[in-house]
Chain A
Amino acid sequence: MAAQLLEIKNLVTAFHTSEGRVPAVDGVSLSIKRGRTLGLVGESGCGKSVTAMSILRLVSSPGRIESGSITFTTESESIDLVTAAEKQLRKVRGGCIGMIFQEPMTSLNPVFTVGDQIAEVVQLHQKVSRAEARSRALEMLHLVRVADPEQRLDAYPHQLSGGMRQRVMIAIALACEPDLIIADEPTTALDVTIQAQILELLEDLRSRLGTATLLITHDLGVVAETCDDVAVMNAGRIVEQAPAVELFSHPLHPYTKGLLQARPNVDTRDRSPLATIPGMVPAPQDFPSGCRFHPRCSYVREPRCDAEPPTLREVSSGHFVRCHFAEEIDS
């Protein structure tokens, strides 16, 4: 069995708008091992969601995957999702890769009961009768710990709370026992107590079912709690990638350092204002030359940062960083 479940290489996804080509994802490489959780972190607009959409080829016009490969390895075969036929892709979607969206309020079809929606996925991917699909739906509702599942099976989405709907979304994503779950900010729209419950549920299901997870978030606390590996994205590129423990104890890229410093401190005696990263997120059509982070970087050194785009290099085992001066900054 191949160790890498999903391997993204040099993915470029661009939007062709009237203002020209906008590369939202520009040369991203990622890999997820079977049963592991990869956190993809970054600020709004850095290309996290587009990366996720690209994996299932859900990016709709005017967006297009321009180059790169996404190799998905199942037990029997490996498929390049970028070039796969639509029919093959449909089998992968929902069947081998489940997806959880950010907005549980609008991600469920308002005119069908939640039971029908879970059963539909099962029927799409497995040759089962309606009754079997329905009992599978009930089983899934049990699994995601929806209270009173027999009754909820016939409820419409508007009758459920946000947390419940997100549980239903998780049930849909997991219904066909996929190898990989892509969770695109699954807790952003929920309030904090429900967030914790959902994350705990995801983590529990992961350890029980052995499903690999790609968790997209901008919440570093979530990452620290749930992820094995972390990739930090900035301006359409991965700037740092490392095992979670390593990254939090030993961040190398100035952007990652900035992110970590920008977290609020629980220490009540500390009255200093919250650290921020100066500047704005650059729009993809006018990314700066050289290192894309250099205008906002506190360690910037002209002229190299301005002129030469840094490459993603391995500074220690399993720790990749995209910065010319990572070692110097570190010491």
Chain B
Amino acid sequence: MSQEPMKVTAEINATNPSRGFWSDAWRRYRRRPIGMLALGFVLFLTIVALFAPAIAGTKPVICSYKGKIYFPCLGYFNRSWESPIFTKDKFRGTYPKNLKQKDPESWAVWPLVFQDPYRRVRENEWPGRRENPSRDKGYPNRLNLFGTDQYGVDIFAKMVHGTTIALLVGFVSMGLAGSIGVIVGALGGYFGGWVDMITSRLTEIVMCVPTLVLILALIAVVEKPTIWKTMAIIGATGWTGIARLTRAEFLRLRQTEFVMAARATGAGSLRIMFRHILPNALAPVLVPITFGIASAILVEGSLSFLGFGPPPPTASWGSVLNSARSNLQLWWLVVFPGTGIFFTVLAYNLVGEGLQEATDPRLREAKK
């Protein structure tokens, strides 16, 4: 029977250039204007978070000092990224005057808004500018766009720098929760039996504990509550929903023929779980992660509001709200961070919803 190769042209169906699952989902996502708007807002926040020190700050974005180039604004991300030469030369955090005094040759590019999220801007710190108002005089004005708090610290600067925290909380804690949830769910769903028994019970136990109370208890135990520890705690308690969803997806997918086929080609359990099954389970798992980011931001906000958030030097939206708690007449302390949290959470929820509609095959069919 081994004559010349037979012709199989009959089988060829004209295919478009390959389009994968995700590019297909993206095409569908783009159709919803509200989802795109929300995604745009999230992107905007990300840009604000990344460039926060260049938007609002009192440290130059870039400056030349004694013949060298420095980026003092990076000190807002991490103290040690600010060159020690400025500490040695006794700048004490005020750059405009010191730069000119100590090196007349120097030049600097300043942030868009000369305001500091951590301290009050003093009289004449910026040539010809008066001191920030404090207490109930800090109405929003031309210099303090969102007003100042009772100590005279600019709210706009706090909000801008708080964006970093808000996004970090969302991504780090949900990244952690997502990893734990996916691993626990995958193990239970794939292996079944006693492994599933253990992971399911563990999930249920964690689910039973009221999250906020657990976080408060853990914060009480943890010695110095930094923002990173808060994120870790939010992540360590928020994985239950993801674990259950992953488990359900794995239970369904491990029965499929392509998993059997993968086993027949000699793939090991780990490979099957994370290379063959997980990509198929990812879409339904991503949706709760997106919603989780929103709720993590909310949890961080409420923790800070209750005063259990990161300690004072950290600027977070929740801590601005907290300072409003004792000064309710300063309405700008409530309105701006509150609106910020509201729209951020809303945007993430809309992105999650859009993702769900773009990837869920049942919703997809209904739309057609």
Contact = CB atoms under 8 A, between A and B. Distances in A.
B267 interface: yes
Interface string B251-283: 000001110111111111001000110011000
B18 A159 contact: yes
B12 interface: yes
A164 B13 CA distance: 10
B276 A94 contact: no
B329 interface: no
A72 interface: no
A204 B258 contact: no
Contacts of A91: 266
Nearest to B12: A147
B15 to A, nearest CB: 4
Contacts of B13: 159-161
A109 interface: yes
Interface stretch (B1-9, B64-72, B157-165): B1-9
- Which size class do A's interface residues fall under? 35 or more
A159 B14 CA distance: 9
B21 interface: yes
Interface string B1-34: 1100110111111011011110000000000000
The residue in A109, A146, A164, A204 that gathers the most chain B C-beta atoms within 10 A of its C-beta is A109
Contacts of B1: 200, 203-204, 207
A155 interface: yes
Interface in A187-232: 193-194, 197, 200-201, 203-204, 207-208
B261 A147 contact: no
Given A58-B263, A121-B266, A204-B2, A109 B8 contact: no
B18 A93 contact: no
B257 A145 contact: no
A111 B20 contact: yes
Given A145-B5, A155-B18, A204-B2, A101 B11 contact: no
- Nearest first, the 10 closest Cβ-Cβ pairs linking A and B are A94-B265, A94-B266, A93-B266, A99-B264, A106-B257, A159-B15, A107-B261, A90-B266, A107-B257, A109-B258
Given A99-B264, A101-B257, 17 more contacts: A90-B268, A99-B265, A106-B256, A108-B258, A109-B258, A110-B21, A120-B265, A121-B265, A124-B265, A124-B266, A125-B266, A147-B11, A155-B18, A156-B20, A159-B16, A163-B8, A193-B10
16 contacts: A56-B264, A61-B192, A90-B266, A94-B265, A99-B261, A101-B264, A106-B258, A109-B258, A111-B279, A112-B279, A120-B265, A120-B267, A121-B265, A124-B266, A146-B8, A172-B261
